[in-house]
Amino acid sequence: MTESQERWERRTDTPLAVASLLFLTGYAVRVLAPGLSDTWRLLCTAVILASWAFFAVDYAVQLRLSGQGLRFLRSHWLDTLVLLLPLLRPLRIVRRYEAVRRRRARPRLSLYARVIVYAGLTVGLLGFTAALTVYHVEHGAPGASIRTFGDAVWWTCATLATVGYGDVTPVTGLGRLTAVGVMACGLGLLGAATGSFSSWLIQTFAWEDEKRPPES
Amino acid sequence: MTESQERWERRTDTPLAVASLLFLTGYAVRVLAPGLSDTWRLLCTAVILASWAFFAVDYAVQLRLSGQGLRFLRSHWLDTLVLLLPLLRPLRIVRRYEAVRRRRARPRLSLYARVIVYAGLTVGLLGFTAALTVYHVEHGAPGASIRTFGDAVWWTCATLATVGYGDVTPVTGLGRLTAVGVMACGLGLLGAATGSFSSWLIQTFAWEDEKRPPES
Amino acid sequence: MTESQERWERRTDTPLAVASLLFLTGYAVRVLAPGLSDTWRLLCTAVILASWAFFAVDYAVQLRLSGQGLRFLRSHWLDTLVLLLPLLRPLRIVRRYEAVRRRRARPRLSLYARVIVYAGLTVGLLGFTAALTVYHVEHGAPGASIRTFGDAVWWTCATLATVGYGDVTPVTGLGRLTAVGVMACGLGLLGAATGSFSSWLIQTFAWEDEKRPPES
Amino acid sequence: MTESQERWERRTDTPLAVASLLFLTGYAVRVLAPGLSDTWRLLCTAVILASWAFFAVDYAVQLRLSGQGLRFLRSHWLDTLVLLLPLLRPLRIVRRYEAVRRRRARPRLSLYARVIVYAGLTVGLLGFTAALTVYHVEHGAPGASIRTFGDAVWWTCATLATVGYGDVTPVTGLGRLTAVGVMACGLGLLGAATGSFSSWLIQTFAWEDEKRPPES
């Protein structure tokens, strides 16, 4: 990474985080408050568009500074994806959380604590975003079972835990596409929960073996 | 931990365990026996209130003895949570079980046995409490599918195993909130089952490798 | 274990395995072939009762030979359980499979292969038994959704994989009790699948680390 | 493996991969485009039959070259299974992917990346094939809930993630048999996700322990 790239990243870090939260907030307000006055609705749209424009400018500058041309699209495929799905943008805040902790000289969390905090923040943000999207797409569809935002949150929780009652399910194509993403996230969550417990057990065993005096 | 704190904990340990069981019993009787005479109903309410008052006194004394002020709320967030949700209180009995075993000089269980016993006790207590709460909240709600306590237990089992048939599901907000807690508990249970098996396999491998005479 | 106990076990091992298969077969025929002639039905009942009587005799002899009295009920709780639920008896065949392999001087399977073979045999036998029981209990119940044996097998598979569609579900108390057992078995199966893969990955890593020449 | 066997495998490797893709494509076109003109339908059938004939010839030659006679059926049970279920054939492409990477002198992927790429390719191919089969078998059945290919894909995703909503489920015997295969695949996917995360955690721990300077 060249020096100019680093300088750009350092400078845009906080504004981007703020913009991604504004984007999510604007989208949430538009979706959840249908009876909004025209002024407020326009404001929300403006915030959404401005945030997204900021993301696009950031992407363009990074593309330019990298000097990689079209190869940048593949080497930074995650950034490309997030540009197209800006609702996933707030996930970068998870990374910022750690940076802030380090700057304040707080002791770094242990690996387990970090896995739990990361998984918790990621699942919380992704879950909220997924519930918003599914509610937005579904609640007006004919034959929909997800009619209120509460239904959407309930459905998201049941999917993330891979329980899947099926009392409310998405029926539109876009809603089901989002659902597949939520399922993949749920599999990851299961993997994190299981993997953490498993490695904790193995660690504890190794520690008990060392502590014990040799038998012979 | 100061000396006075330790003395307080040692003295209140058994009474608190008894009180938490009384609380659960009182709640269970009130919920499961609707045709109770007024005398019994009053008695149950008295037991519930008295137990909770005892928890509140214990919390206040600990808050005072710690000398931490408001920081105590965060450093003892689990105790704070349990004060607000006293139905979770009986989980402390899991800890007492181990203490009693140690006092009677019973050989300490192996790590696997402890994980299984802990997971079993925790899941049993949490499952019973969750089934009670969900039954309490749901069985009178309009359009409810959980109508008997048997339904609630059946739903709890299907959720804990992350199977989630969806033949009976909570429909009220409070019931669904409880359900999310049960799902989280189910994820943990899956993690414990998987992690235990995984580390057992790895242990067995390591043991077989050591047992075998070196090949060269 | 005393010498007389060992001799008894060695002698009854094969007859008990045969009897447990006869028990399962007799039960399966009775449940799955409702239009049986009276002669055949009587024969099945006779086979079931004779097998169970054999199990009871074996249990009584072992209880006697052990000289433990009532403590035997707890120290051999698995045998006690199997006496009361003789449908679980064929699971002992899994143990016999290994014994037969050893006697024929076949090379012992690797740990992974054994885990897979054991899990496969156990799940197959338990699944068949559970499907039989659930079909037996449910197919005549009012409002039942499990009406054919195919439905019962389909339900068992969906439960063992913790998928749980909920298109067919048990509605009677006994059926749901069996279901809880199947769920527990499904959790164990998940644990075995995940644990095996996890420890295989870790083994492969360790092996690749050793194989690689030291870098410095 | 004799020299003639190796030569045969080397020569038929690419044609077999092409044939297996042609088979899948031909089947997909036949199933998904019902309003096809007779010419195209005939062409598809021809492609399917020719590919399968090629598989049969390959199997016969391998059986002959091995000189094992009927024992070949058991020692190559996977090849025997794939001959009977040629839709599973494209899975061999997963193996070819690695071979191609190696030939082009691309650096071998790390174990985690390989597990993820393999699991992804396998799940993608199996999922597509399963969705095709289930749609083919179900969409005309009386009382079917899987009516469009979109429904079949949605059902496959929900099953692979072991979520299992149950809003659409197979009702025919063949559809349910396929479903059991998808469930087994889902269990394996869960195992891969969990196992990878678990071993990654353990690796990271070991690495952090080594990096840290000894405390005494």
Q: For residue B212, give how far its alpha carbon lies from the nearest alpha carbon of chain A (Å).
A: 19
pLDDT value of residue D157 = 94
Mean predicted confidence (pLDDT) in A191-212: 69
Nearest chain C Cα distance for residue B154, angstroms? 7
Could B166 and C162 be called an inter-chain contact, meaning their C-beta atoms sit closer than 8 Å? no
CB C138 within 8 A of CB C154: no
The token pair at A97 is 């959380």
Q: What is the mean pLDDT of chain B?
A: 82
Nearest Cβ partner for A195 among D158, D165, D197: D197
Residue B103 counted as domain residue: no
In a domain, A104, yes or no: no
The arithmetic mean of pLDDT across residues B82-105, rounded, is 70
In this complex, the residue of B165, B166, B194 whose CB is nearest that of residue D194 is: B194
Q: Are residues A124 and A212 in the same domain?
A: yes
A197 to chain D: closest CA residue: D198
Residues in chain B closer than 8 A to C192 (CB atoms): 197
Q: How far is B184 from chain D (nearest CA, A)?
A: 15
Q: Which of B59, B92, B125 is the last residue of a domain?
A: B92
Q: What number is the average pLDDT over the span B26-49?
A: 88
A100, part of any domain: no
- Residue D158 pLDDT: 93
Contact A195 C195 (CB under 8 A): no
Classify residue D215 as exposed, middle or buried by CB count within 10 Å of its CB (0-12, 13-18, 19+). Answer: exposed
Residues on chain C touching A164 (C-beta within 8 angstroms): 163-164
Per CB-CB distance under 8 Å, the chain A contacts of C166 are 165-166
Interface test with C, best of D114, D156, D199 (most C CBs within 10 A): D199
Q: Are C179 and C132 in the same domain?
A: yes
Predicted local confidence at residue C216, as pLDDT = 36
C199: chain A residues, CB-CB within 8 Å? none
How far off is chain D from C203, nearest CA to CA, in Å? 9
Encoding tokens for residue C197? 């893969």
CA-atom Rg of chain D in angstroms: 21
Task: Using the structure block, give the residue that is written with the tokens 């055949």.
Answer: C40
- Band of the pLDDT at B20, cuts 50, 70, 90? confident
B177-191, C180-194, D191-205, range with the lowest pLDDT: D191-205
Residue A164 predicted with pLDDT over 50: yes
The beta-carbon neighbor of B166 closest among D162, D166, D195 is: D166
Residues D191 and D214 in one domain: yes
B51 and B151: one domain?
no
pLDDT digits (tens, 9 = 90+) for A3-18: 888 888 888 888 888 8
Q: How confident is the model at residue D49 (pLDDT cuts 50, 70, 90)?
A: very high
Is B215 part of any domain?
Answer: yes
**Chain A partners (3+ C-beta pairs within 8 A):** B, C, D
pLDDT in tens, C134-193: 999 999 899 899 999 999 999 999 999 999 898 999 999 999 999 999 998 888 888 877
In a domain, B104, yes or no: no
Residue C117: count of CB within 10 angstroms of its CB: 15
C-alpha–C-alpha distance, residues C169 and C203, integer Å: 41
Who among B115, B162, B195 is closest to A163 (CB)?
Answer: B162
**Burial of B57 from C-beta contacts in 10 A (0-12 / 13-18 / 19+):** exposed
In chain B, residues with a C-beta closer than 8 Å to the C-beta of D164 are 163-164
Please name the chains neighbouring C, where neighbouring means 3+ C-beta pairs under 8 angstroms. Answer: A, B, D
Beta carbons of A183 and D193 less than 8 Å apart: no
* pLDDT beyond 90 at C93: no
Joined together, the tokens standing for residue C17 give 């395995």
Shortest distance between the Cα of A155 and any Cα of chain C, in A, equals 15
What pLDDT sits at residue D152?
95
What's residue C133's pLDDT? 93
**Amino acid, res. A26:** G
Is D191's CB within 8 Å of C198's CB? yes
Residue D91 has what pLDDT?
Answer: 73
Give the pLDDT of residue A28.
92
C122 shares a domain with C69: no
Res. D50 pLDDT band, cuts 50 70 90: very high
Residue B82 forms part of a structural domain: yes
Contact C19, C55 (CB under 8 A): yes
Chain D neighbors of B165, CB-CB under 8 A: 166
Residue D183 is nearest to which of C163, C202, C204, comparing CB atoms? Answer: C163
pLDDT (0 to 100) of residue B99:
63
Q: Inter-chain contact D166–B162, Cβ cutoff 8 Å? A: no
Spell out which chain D residues touch chain A, with contact meaning CB-CB distance below 8 angstroms: 150, 154, 157-158, 161-167, 189-190, 193-202, 204-205, 208
Report yes or no: D28 and D132 within 8 Å, Cβ to Cβ.
yes
For B159, which of A150, A163, A166 is closest by C-beta distance? A163
**Are the beta carbons of C193 and D191 separated by less than 8 Å?**
yes
Among chain A residues, the shortest Cα distance to C198 is held by: A195
Per-residue pLDDT at B105 exceeds 60? no
Cα–Cα distance for residue pair B189/B122, rounded to 1 Å: 10
Residue B169, C-beta contacts closer than 8 angstroms, at least 6 positions apart = A165, A167, B145, B146, B155, B179
Taking the C-alpha atoms of residue B26 and residue B45, their distance in angstroms, rounded to an integer, is: 7
CB nearest to C169's CB, from B167, B189, B201: B167
Are A119 and A203 within one domain? yes
Residue A152 lies in a domain: yes
Domain tally for chain B? 2
Of D66, D91, D107, the residue at which a domain comes to its end is D107
Q: How far is B199 from chain A (nearest CA, A)?
A: 6
Structure tokens at A29: 């307000």
Closest chain C residue to the Cα of B157, Cα to Cα: C180
Least confident of B176-180, C31-35, D191-195: D191-195
* Nearest chain D alpha carbon to A162: D163
Helix axes A38-66, A3-32, angle to 10 degrees: 160
Q: B169, A164: Cβ pair inside 8 Å?
A: no
Give the pLDDT score at A114: 73
Q: What is the pLDDT of residue D64?
A: 87
Give the residue from chain C lying closest to D156, CA to CA. C163
Inter-chain residue contact B164 with A164, CB threshold 8 Å: yes
Per-residue pLDDT at B76 exceeds 90: no
Residue in B158, B196, B201 nearest the CB of C199 = B201
Q: Which of C115-129, D4-18, D97-111 has the lowest mean pLDDT?
A: D97-111
The answer to whether D191 touches B198, Cβ cutoff 8 Å, is: no
Q: What gap in Å lies between CA C91 and CA C89, rounded to an integer?
A: 5
Collect all residues of chain D within an 8 Å Cβ-Cβ radius of residue A113: none
* Residue A128's CATH number: 1.10.287.70
Q: What is the pLDDT of residue C214?
A: 45
Q: Verify that A76 and A115 share a domain, yes or no.
A: no
Whole-number pLDDT of residue A211: 55
In a domain, A102, yes or no: no
Both tokens of D36, joined, read 């096809």
Last residue of a domain, one of C58, C74, C107: C107
Q: How far is C70 from chain D (nearest CA, A)?
A: 42
Residues C22 and C95 in one domain: yes
Q: Could you tell me the pLDDT band of residue D104, with boundaries at 50, 70 and 90?
A: low
> For residue B170, what pLDDT band results from cuts at 50, 70 and 90?
very high
DSSP per residue, chain A: --HHHHHHHHHHHHHHHHHHHHHHHHHHHHHH-TT--HHHHHHHHHHHHHHHHHHHHHHHHHHHHHT-TTHHHHHTHHHHHHHHSGGGGGGHHHHHHHHHHHHTTPPPPPHHHHHHHHHHHHHHHHHHHHHHHHHHHHTTSTT-S--SHHHHHHHHHHHHTT----SS---SHHHHHHHHHHHHHHHHHHHHHHHHHHHHHHHHHHHHHHHSPP--
| Residues C84 and C143 placed together within one structural domain of the fold | no
User: Cα-flanking dihedrals φ and ψ of residue D107, to 5°?
Assistant: -60, 140
Which residues of C fall within a CB distance of 8 Å from D199?
198, 201-202, 205
User: In which band, very low, low, confident or very high, does the pLDDT at A130 lie, cut at 50, 70 and 90?
Assistant: very high
Mean pLDDT (chain A, rounded): 82
pLDDT value at residue B214:
45
Question: What pLDDT is attached to residue D213?
Answer: 47
Average pLDDT over every residue of D73-89: 79
**What pLDDT digit, counting tens, does each position of A4-58 carry?**
888 888 888 888 888 888 999 999 998 888 788 888 889 999 999 999 999 899 8
Give the model's confidence band at B96: pLDDT under 50 very low, under 70 low, under 90 confident, else very high: low
Q: Render pLDDT for B107-142 as a digit per residue (tens, 0 to 9).
A: 555 667 777 777 888 888 889 999 999 999 999 899
Whether the per-residue pLDDT at C98 is higher than 50: the answer is yes
Query: In chain D, whose CA is at the least distance from the CA of B196?
Result: D198
Same domain assignment for residues B1 and B70: yes
Are B88 and B113 part of one and the same domain? no
Cα A116 to Cα A106, A156, B174, D209, distances in angstroms: 17, 19, 26, 20
> Is residue A207 scored above 80 in pLDDT?
no
Tokens 């939520």 identify what position? A182
Across the B:C interface, residue pairs with CB atoms under 8 Å apart total 76
CA-nearest residue of chain A to D160?
A183
Q: Which domain holds residue B119?
A: 109-216
Nearest by CB to residue B203, choosing from A157, A194, A205, is: A205
User: What is the reported pLDDT for A172?
Assistant: 93
The pLDDT assigned to B216 comes to 36
* A51 and A4, same domain (yes or no): yes
